[in-house]
Amino acid sequence: MKKLFLTVFLFLLLFIAYVLFKTFTFSSSQLQVAAIEQSEIPEGAVDRFVEALKIRTVSFENKADFDSTQFQLFNQFLKERYPLTDSLLEHKIFNQFSHLYKWQGKDDALDPVILMSHIDVVPIASPRKWTVHPFTEGVKGDTIYGRGTIDDKFGVVGILESAEQLLGEGYQPNRTIYFAFGHDEEVLGHLGAETIVNYLKSEGVQAAFVLDEGQAIVERMIPGLNQQVALIGVAEKGYASVELRVDMAGGHSSMPVKETAIDVLADAVRKVKQNPMPAELTYALDGLMDKLGPEMDFKTKLFFANRKLFKPFILKAYENGSPAANASVRTTASPTIFEAGIKQNVIPTSARAVVNFRILPGETLDDIKEYISKVIDDDRISIRSIGVSSPASPISPITSSGYKILDQTIKEVFPNLLTAPNLVIGATDARYYTALSENVYRFVPYYINPENLACFHGIDERVSVNEFENGIRFYRQLILNGTQLK
Ligand SMILES: [Zn+2]
């Protein structure tokens, strides 16, 4: 008995020693780069940004609401406010309102870089709730308000301000660089991003790397970490909707049968919701733990350093964390439509529900259908996919020169930031561009924190003047670093 106790004790001691060893040797892999001198901000940049924000380039679900005059105004804005870009770069317009600029590099043998953004914005639900009107006012104090400040005219104007500035200085890139601005990102991007990608494909373009929106600098959003982090999206989740349908005998509500179409469907939806697809650590999250683990508080560092041992606990923590944390470890299911019945006293003969899935990289629509049919386990329910779906994107490596350039540029312009890869849980135009490059990244240098999180697609969308100016500095440095690269 004593011997057994001793063996267990020794084993435990070894285990603790191993875990601590892994923790203490889990050291920072953050890129060390010297900060650069802050570049000048072009005169009138904030005014031009506000001018862009005032143009109501809204994408509506209902195509009939599309206001082409606003998009026409935006075309004019680009032409008038960025005359060097407009005249010196090759400029193509797709479906009237999406723009592609090509800045020819000196060396044709080098693969080009593509910087993306989008011109359209989402509609305003309640303009009265805004601190300042989302389309008419602009700056208040040191904050710029307006629909599109973060999503995503920040990118359009930031890129063009820096390009115009560099053109004014006579800068010539070694490597060709494209600026691609779609005008229908908020409604799937078929006219903009998809069309531009098809054109570039037909031209045989293979890009060194592509940068779109999707992630940002986050502060106080990651438990166990006090520093600000620039998250670089290396993949995005897929999107699919599945219809569940049941057809059964109806009848009069005065003589209810044991189970009706409504009961069967409700039960099926409950099962889908209560039995989520299994949680998994993706390459993106693994990379995030590698990059941020050593910077975190001791407890989190210990878990991340020994993630093979503690994987179930880490996954549990994500599952029980915020909805976004849960969404980053699994394919999620959201019932979004539930329909049955036409009259108060009639038991309906059919019922249908739609469940929207966001698919984790590595899983497919077929996996989902198979999984939910097993979970529902009721052959009265028919399962079929409906509407538009897109698979999860491939995962871009963090070892590419594109990623390294981004990492370096972020640290040169924002000296105190950590950087880490991450999974984008929404969908962006970038998914089309994975056809043109293995290295597609998603990052815009504005700040997201618990205070402004809700302004994204919501009320009081805003950035500070300082953030916008640093955005211009970031794109300038990225163009320089990306196109000097041999
Ligand atoms: Zn966007």
- SS3 call for 221: coil
Query: How far apart are the CA of 35 and the centre of ligand 1, in A?
Result: 29
Contact partners, residue 165, CB within 8 Å, separation at least 6: 39, 40, 42, 472, 476
- % helix, strand, coil for the chain, step of 5: 40, 20, 40
Helix (H) or strand (E) holding 247: strand 238-247
| CA 482 vs CA 136, 154, 179: distances in Å | 36, 20, 13
Residues assigned a catalytic role: 120, 185
For each of the chain's 486 residues, which pLDDT tens digit applies? Answer: 788 899 999 999 999 999 999 999 999 999 999 999 999 999 999 999 999 999 999 999 898 999 999 999 999 999 999 999 999 999 999 999 999 999 999 999 999 999 999 999 999 988 889 988 899 888 999 999 999 999 999 999 999 999 999 999 999 999 999 999 999 999 999 999 999 999 999 999 999 999 999 999 999 999 889 999 999 999 999 999 999 999 998 888 888 888 999 999 999 999 999 999 999 999 999 999 999 999 999 999 999 999 999 999 999 999 999 898 999 999 999 999 999 999 999 999 999 999 999 999 999 999 999 999 999 999 999 999 999 899 999 999 999 999 999 999 999 999 999 999 999 999 899 999 999 999 999 999 999 999 998 888 899 999 999 999 999 999 999 999 999 876
Query: How far apart are the CA of 204 and the centre of ligand 1, in A?
Result: 27
Contact partners, residue 10, CB within 8 Å, separation at least 6: none
Cis amide leading into 297 (omega within 30): no
Under a CB-based contact definition with an 8 Å cutoff, are residues 483 and 175 in contact?
yes
Under a CB-based contact definition with an 8 Å cutoff, are residues 302 and 435 in contact?
no
Helix (H) or strand (E) holding 75: helix 68-81
| CA 374 vs CA 59, 219, 336, 364: distances in Å | 39, 41, 21, 16
Query: How far apart are the CA of 26 and the centre of ligand 1, in A?
Result: 36
Query: How far apart are the CA of 456 and the centre of ligand 1, in A?
Result: 9
Under a CB-based contact definition with an 8 Å cutoff, are residues 221 and 450 in contact?
yes
The angle subtended at Cα 464 by Cα 459 and Cα 466, nearest 5°, is: 165
- Boundaries of CATH 3.30.70.360 in the chain? 234-390
Query: How far apart are the CA of 151 and the centre of ligand 1, in A?
Result: 5
Structure tokens of 455?
């302004």
Phi, psi for residue 311 in degrees, rounded to 5:
-50, -45
Structure tokens of 194?
């998809």
Instruction: Give CA torsion, residues 52, 145, 189, 404, to 10 deg.
Output: 100
Structure tokens of 155?
């990118």
- Boundaries of CATH 3.40.630.10 in the chain? 45-215+394-484
- The residue type found at 163 is A
Query: How far apart are the CA of 117 and the centre of ligand 1, in A?
Result: 8
Buried b (16+ CB within 10 A) or exposed e, 431-447: bbbbebbbbbbbbbbbb
Helix (H) or strand (E) holding 317: helix 307-320
Structure tokens of 382?
């028919």
Structure tokens of 312?
């179930």
**32 — alpha (psi -120 to 50), left (phi > 0) or beta?**
beta
According to CATH, the superfamily of the domain at 45-215+394-484 is Zn peptidases (3.40.630.10)
Query: How far apart are the CA of 184 and the centre of ligand 1, in A?
Result: 10
Phi, psi for residue 354 in degrees, rounded to 5:
-115, 135
Residue 189 is predicted with a pLDDT of 94
Q: In sequence order, what are the beta bridge partners of 118? A: 182
**CATH-assigned architecture of domain 234-390:** 2-Layer Sandwich (3.30)
- Say how far apart CA 439 and CA 394 lie, in whole Å: 10
Helix H, strand E, coil C: the string for 109-130 is CCCCEEEEEECCECCCCCHHHC
- Say how far apart CA 319 and CA 326 lie, in whole Å: 4
- Say how far apart CA 59 and CA 162 lie, in whole Å: 27
Under a CB-based contact definition with an 8 Å cutoff, are residues 81 and 176 in contact?
no
